[in-house]
Amino acid sequence: MPNMKFQPLPGFRDFAPQEYAFRAYLFNTWRRVAHRYGFVEWEAPTVEATELYLKKSGGELPTQLFRFKDQGERDITLRPELTASLGRIAASYQMDYAKPLKWFEIGSCFRYEKPQKGRLREFVQFNADILGDAGEGSDAELIALAIDCMREFGFTADDFVVRISDRDVWIAYAMEHGVAEDKVADFLSVIDKFERDRPEVSQQKLDAFGMKREDLEAFIKNPPAGCSPRYDAVYAELQARGLADYVKLDLYVVRGLAYYTGLVFEIFDKGHSLRAVAGGGRYNGLVSTLSDGAVDMPATGFAMGDAVIAHLIEACPAARALRDAALKPDVCDVCMVLAAPEMRMQMLSLASTLRDAGLRVDLPLAPAKMNNQLKRADKIGATYALIVGSEFPEVELKTMATRQSVRTDLEGLMTELLPDAD
């Protein structure tokens, strides 16, 4: 690579066509599975009023925002996530759609974090949400969608696990153990960090609640049967769908954000070597909050990022094989080759005819040696080279994979290239 002065900003990525092909593979996979589940696509503005995020989070803004003043002195922010916009837009447009809404989105988000493995400043999230239904059927449908995305990428139950939890189990636990109502949120945030904090740090935090970390560990390891009827209902639905092997009740999971209510979940690689590849849960109060009470819709959703999944695919042979098959250069069906310069106009006319018939056609833009033209056909992955020479309208159709050629007139050519056309 030449010594370029202009690199992308730290944490931002360039997608030259080879890199874009992987991006398209992710997007197409997410889209295909979401459509199979009857979800429809939506999109938010890239920039929102900062106030929207303030409102969503109850006044505590994350510190890693790309937040600034526009030329009209508005306080605006590059979206750090999509749920705030979703709540706003769903509240505005919901009456035009059959309930529950099953909506998905694929788009860039921005966070000013220290760039590292699986963490970028501009990253893509696949968001899927069900709004307008409070039952476990929606949670199960959503988790099934997340699992099937992973399966579509080539992962099996040996590669990943969906850790499902229920915040209400912890709220009940807190109540039973005498935690004051206004301290429950603090208690949840101790549990949220429980797995990552050093044991003495956890214990120190738990002292405030008169609890022992050993007791919590024991509770997490052996949650009492029936502690989460919600989890049991979701599990039964996933079992009926043949997806029980992918999930477990895991009370370590709480999800940091204050707006979650009830069931929450995260997807991790089995080795738990990376951050969560996806996370989500119920957020029944958010649409009401964002619409000042005008619209009240229970909701459940998750987001899956593009950075962690890229690492997981790289580490899993089956997923890598699917990816590599999708990334093979496949730019064109027919690469025109001009063997006689005086036939250029005839070659152009023929190329137009083939393109009008829907074929993907490349052609020499400037005079070039036959050999170089054939090399290009190889490099861009063309199925055929179509050689136009002085014998035109007789042409030579060369199958690149076998190097075999047939000579044919134009009618024969169309029959060869478009066997299904009338």
Site for a second copy in 323-352 (CB under 8 A): 331-332, 335, 344-346, 348-349, 351-352
Half-sphere exposure of 136 (CA within 13 A, CB side): 14
Answer for which of 157, 184, 258, 380 binds a second copy (CB under 8 A) is 380
Answer for which of 22, 52, 81, 399 binds a second copy (CB under 8 A) is 52
Return the range that interacts with a second copy (CB under 8 A); candidates 44-52, 209-217, 386-394, 414-422: 44-52
263 is a site residue for a second copy (CB under 8 A): no
Considering beta carbons, is residue 187 or 259 the nearer one to a second copy?
Answer: 259
28 is a site residue for a second copy (CB under 8 A): no
Neighbours of 45 (CB within 10 A): 12
Helix, coil or strand: residue 198: coil
Half-sphere exposure of 48 (CA within 13 A, CB side): 24
Site for a second copy in 267-296 (CB under 8 A): 290-292, 294-295
| Shortest distance (Å) from residue 79 CB to a second copy | 10
| Shortest distance (Å) from residue 190 CB to a second copy | 29
Q: What is d(CA 42, CA 40) in angstroms, rounded to the nearest whole number?
A: 7
In contact, 133 and 291? CB cutoff 8 Å: no
| Shortest distance (Å) from residue 276 CB to a second copy | 24
Considering beta carbons, is residue 276 or 350 the nearer one to a second copy?
Answer: 350
Site for a second copy in 169-228 (CB under 8 A): none
- Quickly list DSSP for 275-334: S-SEEEEE-TTHHHHHTTTS----EEEEEEEHHHHHHHHHH-HHHHHHHHHHHS----SE
In contact, 169 and 232? CB cutoff 8 Å: no
Q: How far is CA 263 from CA 173, 193, 229, 241, 299, in A?
A: 15, 18, 11, 19, 11
133 is a site residue for a second copy (CB under 8 A): yes
| Shortest distance (Å) from residue 380 CB to a second copy | 6
Site for a second copy in 57-76 (CB under 8 A): 64, 66, 68-72, 74, 76
| Shortest distance (Å) from residue 20 CB to a second copy | 5
| Shortest distance (Å) from residue 422 CB to a second copy | 20
In contact, 29 and 319? CB cutoff 8 Å: no
| Shortest distance (Å) from residue 215 CB to a second copy | 37
Considering beta carbons, is residue 127 or 202 the nearer one to a second copy?
Answer: 127
311 is a site residue for a second copy (CB under 8 A): no
Q: What is d(CA 355, CA 361) in angstroms, rounded to the nearest whole number?
A: 6
Considering beta carbons, is residue 184 or 244 the nearer one to a second copy?
Answer: 244
In contact, 259 and 56? CB cutoff 8 Å: yes
102 is a site residue for a second copy (CB under 8 A): yes
Q: How far is CA 406 from CA 34, 177, 400, 422, in A?
A: 44, 83, 12, 22
Answer for which of 212, 272, 379, 407 binds a second copy (CB under 8 A) is 379
108 sits in which H/E element: strand 101-110
Q: What is d(CA 40, CA 190) in angstroms, rounded to the nearest whole number?
A: 37
| Shortest distance (Å) from residue 229 CB to a second copy | 16
Answer for which of 61, 157, 359, 414 binds a second copy (CB under 8 A) is 359
Answer for which of 316, 362, 385, 386 binds a second copy (CB under 8 A) is 362
In contact, 242 and 235? CB cutoff 8 Å: no
| Shortest distance (Å) from residue 221 CB to a second copy | 29
Q: Residue 27 has which token pair?
A: 């997007």
Considering beta carbons, is residue 144 or 395 the nearer one to a second copy?
Answer: 144
Return the range that interacts with a second copy (CB under 8 A); candidates 94-102, 202-210, 396-404, 405-413: 94-102
264 is a site residue for a second copy (CB under 8 A): no
Q: Residue 44 has which token pair?
A: 């938010």
Assign residue 281 a region (left: φ > 0; alpha: ψ between -120 and 50; beta: otherwise): left
| Shortest distance (Å) from residue 400 CB to a second copy | 14
Return the range that interacts with a second copy (CB under 8 A); candidates 140-148, 156-164, 272-280, 405-413: 140-148
Answer for which of 28, 58, 92, 229 binds a second copy (CB under 8 A) is 92
DSSP secondary-structure letter at 246?
G
- Size of site (CB under 8 A) for a second copy: 110
Question: Cα angle vertex 276, ends 114, 59, to 5°?
Answer: 65
